[in-house]
Structure 1
Amino acid sequence: MQNRSNIAKLVLIAVASLVLISFPLVAPNRYVVHIVNMAGLYILISIGLNLAMGYCGQINLALGAFWGVGAYTAALLNTRLGVPIWINLPIGMIFAGIVGALVALPMLKVRSHYLALVTIGLAETINIIIVNEAWLTEGPLGISGIQMPNLFGIAIDGSERFYYLVLAAVVVGYLVARQIVTHRIGRAFIAIRDDDTAAKAMGVNTAYYQILANAIAAVYCGLAGVLYAHMNTYISPDIFEFKSALFVLTMTMIGGMGSLTGSLVGALSLPLMQEWLRAIGRWQLIAFGLAIMIVVLFVPGGVVGFTRRLEESGGFRLPWARKPAAEPLRVEEPNVS
């Protein structure tokens, strides 16, 4: 039985790899490839949200601001100093991580819905700074003229070529996140999420791991921001407003909060949701809120959690649904500090 499961996984991985590699060649047009590229960037942000909120229990709705920090860092370095994307990537990720750690400090004093309000306030503060400090960020007009990447003399100057850069970032980001959640850090995150008082009693430095979780989430957002800036060659503050964080939250909850696979599955709904909701303009926020309510009330655990319940009830079994979305790992060690 185990061999059959392993074979099914290998076949699934092989088919998925073939589809992903060949996608730009068979896509009907460049716009579709661009939408998929955006889905990849949202996957990175969703992975960061899942690490902070799904695994560590830290409600963080400032992801749009961290995304903006990474994008503006890359845009300013590139347009003013000519710094290429390959240097902007680590700089943008580090700077976003530092901002995420600083933002996490006041979050240590609050819990529950107050935590959500604090992160929204901090995100709006960062967004206001971006809009008003026009001497640095060009204000509401945004920054244009950002250079597309160049690799070994080959210009990555189209959606089709940039697709492979985004794909590589998503694969590496996902594998790194898997290592984090299976490491001692991940076990500490889950201990804090389940009961931070008990985690403290076991010797876990809860403040340190809470700050670390938010910093890691910000690093993923910074990575997505740098890629976004160089992919579109133009950024403006409205792209990184609160609705971006709400969109990623909706996507993650549909896929399955507390499961890295949920971030990938949730992204499958991204292109359809974007196209369906494009016509309603600013009513999108209401649609996202309704989607979250429906998932919480009727499909807790998202798609991944739903498939797990089907498996347990004798329905069908999917190779990636072996663990429930709400409880991806168990804390086994008494001391993880």
Structure 2
Amino acid sequence: MKTNIKLIYSRSLKGPLVLTFVLLALPFLIPSPYFLGMMVLIGFYTIVGTGLSMLMGYAGQISLGHAAFYGVGAYTSAILTAKMGMPALAGIAAGALVALIIAYIVGVPTLKLTEHYLSLATLGFGVIVFIFFKQLKGLTGGLDGFFGIPPLEIFGFEFTTDFAYYYLVWPLAICSILFARNVIQSRVGRALRSIHGSETASSALGVNTQKYKLQVFMMSAVYAAVAGSLYAHYVTFISPQLFEAMASIHFLIMVIIGGMASIWGGMVGAAVFVFLSEGLKEVIPLVMSNASGEFEIVFFGVLLVALLIYMPEGLVPALSKTWKNLRRKKDSGGQNSRNAHMELEDEKEVQVSMVGGGER
């Protein structure tokens, strides 16, 4: 138990610093535009997944509507920059603010629900937002999509290449993870974990469960909206199909793959999801020439079931446990060898003393 508590409240920056160094060096080690494009996409999904990990893994509140917040951020920033000529940073900030307000309005009634009722409510919210994106053609362009989104520009520098966008998105993703880790290690984080353990017991102990659930829901919505805004300026074209219910399910799959109760699970799950998706696009046509993209969903469905059976905590906790067990075995092996060496030395000393006594 002491080890688990120490792990939860560890504020060591060794891991994040090593990860940051690797990510900064990666474009020079693998200078492929295709690879950089995938890494940028993983960066967007990491931000969304980190917010979802806090909501689902720590507060225990399941959401199937986060693609709606992703789309709110994207469309708000797109409309303000393309149609009103506002700076991109202002559009991103406005997208986050709009998502925050919507999350508050939606969260107050829906977070009173629990388990599958909450899941259905958030799914319904996502469907409603998708319909708005599709029907408000004057603002969103409808199913034809929204064209002409300007590239992101900060202090006169335009992010028009994958290389430039990589060094924008990943520092933001790492900062979002570190901020989430600080929240989890704070009093708010302890309250969220108590709600996840037992909401009834938390309420009995005086924890304002509705307040904390609403706060983490709003925070995760802002994470999704910021990622959506960045995505809109990256691709410069968006359509409602990008933000339908299936996108929310993809986010859910990423978080479950990486590990809901791990703050790094969103990043690992996003990486696994993107790389597997791209790999399946190459492999499936070789196996089944007439196959469509639906087979990817089948594959991820099977993978999800297998993970829930054999690795219910996700990849990050499972790999962490494996690493600890290996280190424990290594340490115990070293200790055993030291003990055997000491026993051998003791035997030698006894023999020497016996020989010396015989000579006297």
Same fold, TM exceeding 0.5? Answer: yes
> Which residue in 2 is equivalent to 1:126?
129
Out of 212, 222, 227, which is 1:224 matched to?
227
The one-letter code sitting in structure 1 at the alignment partner of 2:262 is S
Kindly report the root-mean-square deviation, in angstroms, between the aligned alpha carbons of the 2 structures: 2.2
Task: Tell me how far apart the structure 1 counterparts of residues 302 and 104 of structure 2 sit (CA, whole Å).
Answer: 31
Alignment of 1:152-163 (within 5 A): 152-163=155-166
Structure 2 Cα separation of the partners of residues 45 and 13 of structure 1: 18
Contact 2:258 2:269 in 1 (8 A): yes
- By how many angstroms is 1:271 displaced? 2.9
Q: Counterpart of 2:104?
A: 101
Kept in 2: contact 1:262–1:303 (CA 8 A): yes
Paired with 2:175 and 2:19, the residues of 1 have a C-alpha distance of 16
Question: Following superposition of structure 1 onto structure 2, how do residues 170-185 of structure 1 map, counting pairs within 5 Å?
Answer: 170-185=173-188
Q: 2: distance between equivalents of 1:310 and 1:53?
A: 24
Residue 47 of structure 2 corresponds to 44
Letter in 1 for 2:88: I
Which residue does 1:111 correspond to in 2? Answer: 114
Name 2:276's counterpart in structure 1.
273
Distance 2:132 2:217 in 1: 21
Aligned residues: 311
Residue 48 of structure 1 contacts residue 216 of structure 1 at CA under 8 Å; is this kept in 2? yes
1:100, 1:217 within 8 Å by CA — same for their partners in 2?
no
Shift of 1:108: 2.8
* Map of 1:305 onto structure 2: 317
Q: Does 1:191 align with 2:202?
A: no
Q: Measure, in 1, the Cα distance between the counterparts of 2:59 and 2:35.
A: 35
Query: Which of these residues, 209, 215, 235, is aligned with residue 212 of structure 1?
Result: 215
Contact 2:72 2:225 in 1 (8 A): yes
Shift of 1:297: 0.7
1:239 and 2:254 correspond:
no
Identify if the C-alpha distance between structure 1 residues 9 and 165 changes in structure 2 by more than 3 Å, giving closer, same or farther.
Answer: closer
Letter in 2 for 1:124: V
1:164-222 Cα offsets, whole Å, 9 max, x none, are 11012102211111111111111111111110011111111111111112111100000
> Are the structure 2 counterparts of residues 106 and 235 from structure 1 closer, same or farther at C-alpha, using a change threshold of 3 Å?
same
Mapped contact 2:104–2:218 kept (Cα < 8 A): yes
**Percent of aligned positions with the same letter in both sequences?**
34
Separation in 2, partners of 1:295, 1:174: 23
Structural mapping, 1:14-93, within 5 Å:
15-93=18-96
In 2, Cα distance between equivalents of 1:135 and 1:9: 48
2:306 equivalent to 1:294: yes
More displaced 10-residue stretch of structure 1: 147-156 or 275-284: 275-284
Identify the range of structure 1 (166-175 vs 18-27) with the bigger mean alpha-carbon deviation. Answer: 18-27
Q: Whole-Å Cα distance in 2 between the matches of residues 259 and 42 of structure 1?
A: 15
Q: How far has the Cα of 1:94 moved from its partner?
A: 1.5
**Correspondence for 1:324:** none
Instruction: Report the CA distance shift for 1:155/1:102 in structure 2 as closer, same or farther (over 3 A).
Output: same
3-state SS in 2 of match to 1:144:
coil
Residue 237 of structure 1, CA deviation: 0.6
* One-letter amino acid matched to 2:79: L
SS in 1 for 2:326: coil
Farther off after superposition, 163-172 or 216-225: 163-172
CA distance in 2, matches of 1:84, 1:181: 33
TM-score by length of 2: 0.81
Deviation at 1:14, TM superposition (A): 5.3
2:342 aligned partner = none
SS of aligned partner of 1:143: coil
Distance in 1 (CA, whole Å) between partners of 2:137 and 2:162 is 30
| 1:315 and 2:317 aligned | no
Deviations 1:273-308, CA, capped at 9 Å, x for gaps: 221343541333333322221111111111122134
Cα distance per residue 1:239-297 (max 9 Å; x no partner): 11122221121121111111102122223313322213435413333333222211111
Deviation for aligned residue 1:51: 0.9
The match for 1:284 among 293, 296, 303 is 296
Q: Quote the residue 2:146 is aligned against.
A: 143
**Structure 2 vs 1, CA of residues 9 and 204 (structure 1 numbering), >3 Å: closer, same or farther?**
closer
Is contact 1:250-1:291 (8 Å) kept? Answer: no
**As a proportion of its length, which structure holds more helix?**
2
Structure showing greater radius of gyration is 2
Structure 1 residue 311: deviation in Å?
4.9
1:28 shift after superposition: 4.1
TM-score normalised over the length of structure 1: 0.86
Instruction: Return the letter of the residue paired with 1:283.
Output: F
- Aligned equivalents of 1:208, 1:14: Cα separation in 2: 33
Query: Secondary structure at 1:269's aligned position in 2?
Result: helix
Instruction: Structure 1: give runs of 5+ residues left out of the alignment.
Output: 318-337
How far did residue 89 of structure 1 move? 2.1
